RNA sequence: GUGGGCGUAGCUCAGUUGGUUAGAGCGCCAGGUUGUGGUCCUGGAGGCCGGGGGUUCGAGACCCCUCGUCCACCCCA
């Protein structure tokens, strides 16, 4: 008999972690919905073409795509991220702007799994389409910061940068290419290859031998157009006004090719791992156009759920919520009375579980203890004969009998304590 | 895709230079306790030692392959 296990890079999220996930998503939802963002649920797979717009130089597109042909002969891909889907949805439905949406769900990338990196990984995020105002950039960044704070995270650092407009990017990219080419011998082999594909990405190299060269490389800020420079300056001033702490990082280029102007990244300094970026985003003015829509500015961020939870673990905050029932019914008379009591309590919105298979009282009490319930209700032959039920608060060491018709009230008052 | 570490009970792990019937703790089940959990005591269930091949009289230990997992590189959330 073959025993199956999860595919590489995927896993089962069981209790108590699963409840924590849900709580995470609920907190995120409340933060962004209170800021006017509406939930969008795009499909998990789309026409491959949607994601090819993310850029030919991105490995997310060239190497890591989960793509396949469906039975209708369509080229399909599991989404590697959700920004492209949101833009596609915008073009498809043409909602009025500003369009502020949030999402939560799994994405897929065919990568080698390691700590904080899975083939199926969850992100929560927001996107806004149709607004150019730098104050929106600041709002978006501030919301992410607010969310991290809400989770209880403290060791999170924000890095910001501007990649300029299309023309700026090209000029800067050319300048980088020239600079690195002139010092090619000092560059690592990997970075030399990266240079031919996307010079900007060389700045992202973590290889030690590249660092000296990278540190002395031309800065993007010297290549920004007046418009882009002003925009960036306004974003920074707004962040200051909002009290959001940040550091400007000239080397922050981010992985996807569609970014323009503002980019940002949140890093957990509590994480001792290769992957410390727990969230990031930026502007992608132009992406909607690439997907066949009208010229529309866009900005957003995505936060990695798994990584953020790792950061929470590292800081020892945001524990899994308690999902225990309040009451556990022990019935040694066959179980039918327990069924009736459970039904009664559930109809009165009191959470309750019970034991099955008519096990011994000792076994059922053990189950009651394990359930974490605050109260055990005990029904034996004596109780049935007397027409009452024993109420046993689990931590008191005491218990008392109560008539059936007063049970709900008794439990309510007991749970108040 | 590249490199390294690790795969023994549900979980965490022991298991000597290859040598009888593979162990511990926790968890689980039952009993001690003829109705009462969390402490304690006793007992029990539970293993194709990841899979395949090889070396050997003999392999959980050694060799090869493979799969999985973890970590790092690459890249990214």
What end-to-end distance do the CA atoms of chain A give, in Å? 52
What number of other Cβ atoms are within 10 A of residue A3's Cβ? Answer: 4
Residue pLDDT, tens place only, A39-65:
999 999 999 999 988 776 677 777 889
CA A178 to C1' B72, in angstroms, rounded, equals 31
Give me the residues paired with residue A66 across strands: A78
Phi, psi values for residue A67, rounded to 5°:
-115, 155
> Which 66-105 positions of A have CB less than 7 A from strand B?
81
Segments making up each domain of chain A, as ranges: 17-165+225-315, 327-416
Fold classified for A17-165+225-315: BirA Bifunctional Protein; domain 2 (3.30.930)
- Answer with the residue of higher pLDDT: A161 or A203: A161
Residue pLDDT, tens place only, A241-297:
999 999 999 888 877 778 899 999 999 999 988 889 999 999 999 899 999 999 999
**Average pLDDT of the segment spanning A349-374:** 95
Sheet holding A99-108, edge to edge: A38-39, A99-108, A120-129, A298-304, A277-283, A260-268, A156-162, A247-248
A308 nearest nt, CA–C1': B77
Kindly calculate the radius of gyration of chain A based on its CA atoms and give it in whole angstroms. 28
User: What was the pLDDT predicted at A1?
Assistant: 62
A279 beta carbon < 7 A from strand B?
Answer: yes
A170 beta carbon < 7 A from strand B?
Answer: no
A392 nearest nt, CA–C1': B36
A13 beta carbon < 7 A from strand B?
Answer: no
From the list A35, A65, A63, the residue with the least C-alpha distance to A135 is A35
A1 nearest nt, CA–C1': B48
Residue pLDDT, tens place only, A52-110:
887 766 777 778 899 999 999 999 999 999 999 999 999 999 999 999 999 999 999 99
Distances (CA, A) of A44 to A76, A101, A123, A313, A405: 10, 17, 12, 28, 51
A361 nearest nt, CA–C1': B35
CA A5 to C1' B61, in angstroms, rounded, equals 27
Residue pLDDT, tens place only, A142-194:
999 999 999 999 999 999 999 998 888 888 888 888 888 888 777 777 788 77
**Cα A268 from chain centre:** 14
**Average pLDDT of the segment spanning A362-391:** 95
A265 nearest nt, CA–C1': B77
CATH topology agreement for domains A17-165+225-315 and A327-416: no
User: What was the pLDDT predicted at A57?
Assistant: 67
Complex prediction ipTM: 0.88
From the list A288, A49, A258, the residue with the least C-alpha distance to A166 is A258
Q: What are the tokens at A329?
A: 């019914």
User: What was the pLDDT predicted at A5?
Assistant: 87
A362 beta carbon < 7 A from strand B?
Answer: yes
- The percentage of chain A sitting over the pLDDT mark of 90, rounded to a whole number, equals 71
Give me the residues paired with residue A126 across strands: A102, A301
> Which 104-143 positions of A have CB less than 7 A from strand B?
109, 111-118, 121, 123
Distance separating alpha carbons of residues A222 and A377, to the nearest angstrom = 73
**Average pLDDT of the segment spanning A115-123:** 92
Instruction: Assess whether pLDDT exceeds 90 at residue A4.
Output: no
Q: Where are the alpha helices (DSSP H) in A203-335?
A: 211-215, 226-242, 287-290, 305-315
**Average pLDDT of the segment spanning A1-24:** 89
Please check whether residue A262 is in contact with residue A232, taking contact to mean a CB–CB distance below 8 angstroms: yes
A327-416: CATH class: alpha beta
Percentages of chain A per state (helix, strand, coil), in multiples of 5: 40, 20, 35
Instruction: Assess whether pLDDT exceeds 70 at residue A128.
Output: yes
User: What was the pLDDT predicted at A204?
Assistant: 78
A273 beta carbon < 7 A from strand B?
Answer: yes
User: What was the pLDDT predicted at A184?
Assistant: 79
CA A8 to C1' B62, in angstroms, rounded, equals 30
Distance separating alpha carbons of residues A290 and A310, to the nearest angstrom = 36
Residue pLDDT, tens place only, A204-240:
777 777 777 888 888 888 889 999 999 999 999 999 9
A121 nearest nt, CA–C1': B77
> Which 315-344 positions of A have CB less than 7 A from strand B?
332
Q: Indicate if the alpha-carbon torsion angle A160, A165, A170, A174 is positive or negative.
A: negative
Contact positions of strand B to protein Cβ (< 7 A): 1-3, 28-31, 33, 35-38, 68-77
Whether omega for the bond prior to residue A384 falls within 30 degrees of 0, making it cis, is: no
User: What was the pLDDT predicted at A104?
Assistant: 97
């Amino acid at each position: 008999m073959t025993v199956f296990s999860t595919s590489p890079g995927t896993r089962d999220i069981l209790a108590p972690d699963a409840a924590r996930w849900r709580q995470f998503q609920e907190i995120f939802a409340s933060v962004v919905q209170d800021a006017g963002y509406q939930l969008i649920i795009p499909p998990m797979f789309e026409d491959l073409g949607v994601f090819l717009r993310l850029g030919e130089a991105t490995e997310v597109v060239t190497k890591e795509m989960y793509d396949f042909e469906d039975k209708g002969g369509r080229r399909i891909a599991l989404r590697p991220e959700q920004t492209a889907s949101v833009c596609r949805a915008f073009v498809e439905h043409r909602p009025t702007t500003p369009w502020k949406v949030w999402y939560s769900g799994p994405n897929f990338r065919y990568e080698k799994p390691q700590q904080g990196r899975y083939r199926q990984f969850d992100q929560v995020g927001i996107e806004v389409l149709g607004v150019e105002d730098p104050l929106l950039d600041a709002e978006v960044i501030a919301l992410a910061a607010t969310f991290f704070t809400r989770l209880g995270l403290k060791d999170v650092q924000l890095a910001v940068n501007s990649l300029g407009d299309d023309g700026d990017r090209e000029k800067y990219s050319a300048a980088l290419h020239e600079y690195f080419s002139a010092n090619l011998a000092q560059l690592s082999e990997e970075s030399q290859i990266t240079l031919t594909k996307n010079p900007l990405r060389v700045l992202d190299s973590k290889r030690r031998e590249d660092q000296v060269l990278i540190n002395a490389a031309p800065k993007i800020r010297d290549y920004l157009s007046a418009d882009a420079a002003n925009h960036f300056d306004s974003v920074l001033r707004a962040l200051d006004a909002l009290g959001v702490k940040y550091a400007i990082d000239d080397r922050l280029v981010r992985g996807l090719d569609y970014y323009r102007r503002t980019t940002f990244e949140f890093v957990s300094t509590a994480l001792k791992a290769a992957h410390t970026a727990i969230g990031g985003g930026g502007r992608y003015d132009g992406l909607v156009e690439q997907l066949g829509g009208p010229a529309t500015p866009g900005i957003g961020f995505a936060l990695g759920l798994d990584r953020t939870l790792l950061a929470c673990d590292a800081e020892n905050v945001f524990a899994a919520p308690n999902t225990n029932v309040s009451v556990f019914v022990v019935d040694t008379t066959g179980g039918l009375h327990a069924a009736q009591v459970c039904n009664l309590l559930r109809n009165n919105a009191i959470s309750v579980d019970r034991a099955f298979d008519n096990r011994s009282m000792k076994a059922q009490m053990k189950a009651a203890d394990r359930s974490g319930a605050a109260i055990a209700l005990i029904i034996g032959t004596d109780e049935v004969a007397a027409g009452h039920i024993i109420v046993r608060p689990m931590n008191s060491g005491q218990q008392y009998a109560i008539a059936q018709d007063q049970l709900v009230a008794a439990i309510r008052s007991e749970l108040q304590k």
